[in-house]
């Protein structure tokens, strides 16, 4: 089974966190699910550089990568994922969705109200507990 290493940004602004909704996918278990934005780490790329690049590509937003939060190892039916999540900050809420259907800024207590991708659930749990 293929293993994919990815990074995820927990972007904070004015005490709220940015949540993004994935597009439609042939994989029903991730189609239209909510996630923390990010993406694949390229060969010889640092986690921080990967995260900044992915957020710029997906949201046209600059973020400052702060501390590591949690690394999640999750096995989906078709692949395994190793997801490194980091707190990030930004000085703007201006963004352009290039891959996601929707974006929401939510307070911590609102995070459980979304239908999260399975690999993102441990991150949500760590943030709210």
Cβ-contact 39, 117 below 8 angstroms: no
Cβ-contact 89, 13 below 8 angstroms: yes
| Tens-binned pLDDT, residue by residue, of the chain (129 aa) | 999 999 999 999 999 999 999 999 998 999 999 999 999 999 999 999 999 999 999 999 999 999 999 999 999 999 999 999 999 999 999 999 999 999 999 999 999 999 999 999 999 999 999
pTM: 0.96
- Rounded-to-integer distance, Cα 37 and Cα 85, Å: 10
Specify the CATH number of the domain 2-128.
3.90.79.10
Indicate the pairing of strand 34-35 with strand 79-89: unpaired
Phi and psi torsions of 50, nearest 5°: -60, -45
């Amino acid at each position: 089974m293929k293993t994919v290493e990815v990074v995820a940004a927990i972007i904070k602004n004015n005490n709220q966190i940015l949540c993004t909704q994935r597009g439609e996918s042939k994989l029903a278990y991730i189609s239209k699910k909510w996630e923390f934005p990010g993406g694949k780490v390229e060969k010889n790329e640092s986690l921080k550089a990967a995260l900044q690049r992915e957020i710029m590509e997906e949201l046209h937003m600059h973020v400052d990568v702060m501390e590591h939060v949690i690394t999640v190892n999750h096995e989906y039916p078709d692949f395994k994922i190793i997801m490194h999540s980091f707190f990030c900050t930004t000085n703007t809420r201006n963004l352009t969705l290039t891959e996601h259907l929707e974006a929401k800024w939510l307070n911590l207590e609102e995070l459980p109200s979304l239908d999260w991708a399975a690999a993102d659930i441990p991150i949500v749990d760590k943030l709210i507990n």
